[in-house]
Amino acid sequence: MTGANETTRWVYENMTRKFARFLEARRYLLRYYEDAEIGFHFKTPGVDPDFKNAVEAEIETLRIAHPDVTVRLRWEE
């Protein structure tokens, strides 16, 4: 994924929208799982620094917007 426009689109489609869907799905989960953490794990080491910054900024935005949800981020180094 290269270029600012592609990164912005990727973050929206693969993080912002998926996060919203995960939140919606939690309503239908068993009580034990309804407050489960939501995490994003990037397994490819050495990602583009601009991409990494965009992902980390979105994670922070999600955490601020949803303080009651634990949002995890993990990078393979």
For the entire predicted model, the pTM comes to 0.86
Tokens at 72, concatenated: 């995890």
| Tens digits of residue pLDDT in 8-62 | 999 999 999 999 999 998 888 888 787 889 999 999 999 999 999 999 999 999 9
CA distance 61 to 46: 23
Measured in whole angstroms, the distance separating CA 71 from the mean position of its chain's CA atoms is: 7
Q: What is the pLDDT of residue 33?
A: 81
Q: Please name the helix (run of DSSP H) or strand (run of DSSP E) that holds residue 13, with its range, or none.
A: none
Q: Is residue 47 within 8 Å of residue 7, measured between CB atoms?
A: no
pLDDT at 4 (0 to 100): 62
Residue 32 is predicted with a pLDDT of 79
pLDDT of residue 3: 62
Give the residues across from 42 on adjacent strands.
75
Q: Where are the domains of the chain?
A: 4-75
Rounded CA-CA distance 31/16 in Å is 24
Residue 1 has pLDDT above 80, yes or no: no
